[in-house]
Chains A and B, each alone.
Chain A
Amino acid sequence: MTGFKRIMGVSALALAAFCVGSTVVAGTLENVKARGKLVVGVKNDYVPYGYLNDKGDVVGFEVSLAKYVAKELLGSEDKIELVPVVASNRIEFLTAGRIDAIFATLGVTAERAKVIDFTTEYVSAAGPSVLAAKEATLSKWEELKGKSVCGIQGSYYNKKMTEEFGITLVAFKTQPEAYRALKDNRCIGFVFDDMTLQQKLKEPDWASYKIAVAPYEFQPMAGGLRKGDTEFREAVDKAIGKAEAEGKLIAWETEFGMPHSDYIAARAKAAAAKN
């Protein structure tokens, strides 16, 4: 049994090493200024918020916003490093100090607020809807009970899907896999953020599909920052407020092919009135 004891000893050491890694970082604004570069976690597979254009550059609504914030903080929108993140690692990247801020389709939830701080909310995003073939007769969430529906691992609504709606969730790591699986009929629909699915429907490949089940909620979206760093949060909020007042967000809606939302227009008006 000495071998077993040795294994346990090594495991305990590994655990201790794990625990040391989680110290709190403060003074992000100073760090960013000293470094001369803002490191931002963005999506690179999520039209229109953050995606790769034909040239292979990461662009999008939130990428433009992140660049604007970099310009306000550091004087140039090129003083930025864009780190591609996914839903399942973005908060870990932030809390571990690998990025300074998240601008990656981050919905504001009470659970998340326990772990990170949110910037001012800048988009009101529709929650998840379900993409399915045109012939599908489903129209309500309750009708999905017991059915296999594709999804994405780490989505905040996955627990609701399985526990409340009784869906058999087939969750993938990335969207391309889920789209492939839907086309393969591995699932009867794909539950994902409505905005993305709406964009997908514009592609000719997806002409025979529709949004079968409409979103059950609308959720504000905001940037994510490390908890308790008030100085940095205020600086970022100020930059976002300025972008709103200048009507930048409305311009980005146009640039990235998004339908103009009342929410963003109202915020722009309010921000402009405040200045």
Chain B
Amino acid sequence: MFGLDYSWLADPAYQQWLLTGVINTLKLATLSSSVAILIGMLGAFGLTLRIFWLDALIELFVEVFRNTPPLLQMLFAYFTLSSLGLRVTDPSTGLSVPLLSAFACAAISLSLFGGALAIEAFRSGIETMPRSIIDAARSLGYGRWARFWRIEAPIATRICLPALTNILTNLFKTTSQASVITVPELMYYAGQIYNDTFRTLEVMILVLLIYVVLVSILTFAMARLEAFMAFPGYGRGH
């Protein structure tokens, strides 16, 4: 079809590279998405406490990590942190080596980037929640913590699910930038394969399809989750 040549796919080395790439992409995406959601929840909870210094701290965190390119954050973590002294001595060689591996740097910066976006998403969910529900919970004697976990978080999560889906899809695609700091994910190997075979178009089409499939699975799962969690009167519960 279209004169495309996929004979290079028969090479076991390239199959192994693609498989390793997909696995590393999934690892990175899963880990950073989970941590990002956790950061988002904790941050949003922190904001509901209305403590002056905590608000300022969370806001600073959001501004720093939302407003800088994740690529720059990764490069910073990978090259700069070790230069600033974040190093350990490797017992097997006695050399001073950077503490954070490439994968750790990518996972951390993606988690923080996604986390900053998730805080904003959760916050918007909480803020758009009808005031009357919170007042009702208060009058029933719910404390701060119980009110957040039992009333605010469940409702806010439902409200902000579409926004969260956006953030997670974006985060998934941003994992491709980790190739710059040598994390051997899908794009890292894809680049090497088309440099070896010069079948640029074919490799890019395949990688594009892999991303479409993987991200579609994610968005499909999120849509199902949204439908499952819908409650009468809101969003999909209409």
**A-chain residues with CB within 8 Å of residue B197 when the two chains form the complex:** 111
B204 within 8 A of A: yes
| New A-B contacts (9) at CB < 8 Å, excluding given A88-B191, A170-B102, A171-B188 | A3-B223, A8-B212, A153-B179, A153-B195, A154-B192, A158-B196, A171-B182, A172-B182, A186-B102
A19 with B2: in contact, given A7-B212, A154-B191, A173-B180 (CB under 8 Å)?
yes
Cβ of A4: which chain B residues have Cβ within 8 Å of it? 216, 220
A138 to B182, CA, bound (A): 24
Docked complex Cα distance between A22 and B201 (Å): 9
**A159/B192 in contact, CB under 8 A:** yes
Interface hits, B187-213 → A, CB 8 Å: 188, 191-192, 195-198, 200-201, 204-205, 208-209, 212
CB neighbours (8 Å) of A185 from chain B are 90, 95-98
Closest approach, in angstroms, between the C-beta of A149 and any C-beta of chain B? 11
How close is A38's CB to chain B, nearest CB, in angstroms? Answer: 23
A8 surroundings in chain B (CB, below 8 A): 212
Give the number of chain A interface residues (Cβ < 8 Å).
Answer: 37
Q: Is the CB of B79 within 8 A of A177?
A: yes
- Contact of B24 with A by CB under 8 A: no
Q: Which of A1-39 contact B (CB under 8 A)?
A: 3-4, 7-8, 11, 14-15, 18-19, 22
B76 to chain A, nearest CB (A): 13
14 pairs from A and B in contact (CB 8 Å cutoff): A7-B212, A11-B209, A18-B205, A91-B200, A115-B198, A154-B195, A163-B13, A170-B102, A170-B182, A172-B182, A185-B90, A185-B95, A185-B98, A186-B97
Q: Is A156 at the interface (CB under 8 A from chain B)?
A: yes
CB atoms of A159 and B196 under 8 A apart = yes
Q: Are B200 and A184 in contact (CB under 8 A)?
A: no
Instruction: Find chain A residues with CB under 8 A from B79 CB.
Output: 177, 180-181, 184
CA A11 – CA B204 in complex, angstroms?
Answer: 13
Decide yes or no whether B166 CB sits under 8 A from chain A: no
Interface residues of A in 155-178 (CB under 8 A from B): 155-156, 158-159, 162-163, 170-173, 177
A4→B219 CA distance, assembly (Å)? 9
In the assembled complex, A114 has its CB within 8 A of some CB on chain B: yes
Known contacts A163-B13, A170-B102, A184-B82; A153/B208 CB under 8 A: no
Report the bound CA distance from A22 to B199 in whole Å.
12
Write out the residue numbers on chain B whose beta carbons fall within 8 Å of the beta carbon of A115.
198
Q: Separation in Å of the A147 CB from the closest CB of chain B?
A: 10
Pick the contact of A11 from B102, B182, B201, B208 — CB < 8 Å? B208
Are B196 and A156 touching (Cβ within 8 A)?
yes
Instruction: Check if A87 is an interface residue, CB within 8 A of chain B.
Output: yes
Bound together, the chains give a CA A162 to CA B184 distance in angstroms of 13
Is there an interface contact between A153 and B196, defined as CB atoms closer than 8 Å?
no
A171 touches B192 (CB 8 A): yes
- Does B15 sit at the interface, judged by CB under 8 A? no
Counting CB contacts under 8 A, is B67 at the interface?
no
Contact with A along B151-168 (1 / 0, CB 8 A): 000000000000000000
In the assembled complex, A231 has its CB within 8 A of some CB on chain B? no
Given A154-B191, A159-B192, is A111 in contact with B220 using a C-beta cutoff of 8 Å? no
Judge if B170 is at the interface, Cβ distance under 8 Å. no
Residue of B nearest to A7 (CB): B216
Say if the beta carbon of A98 comes within 8 Å of chain B.
no
Judged by a CB distance under 8 angstroms, whether A112 is at the interface is yes
Name the residue of chain A whose CB is nearest to the CB of B16.
A163
List residues of chain A with CB within 8 A of the CB of B97: 184-186
A255 within 8 A of B: no
**Interfacial chain A residues near B195, Cβ < 8 Å:** 87-88, 153-156, 158
List the B residue with the shortest CB-CB distance to A133: B95
**How far is the CB of A177 from the nearest CB of chain B, in Å?**
7
Which residue in chain B gives the minimum CB-CB distance to A168?
B184
Is B34 located at the chain interface by the 8 A CB criterion?
Answer: no
Looking at the complex, which one of A153, A162, A163, A188 makes contact with B191 (CB distance below 8 Å)?
Answer: A153
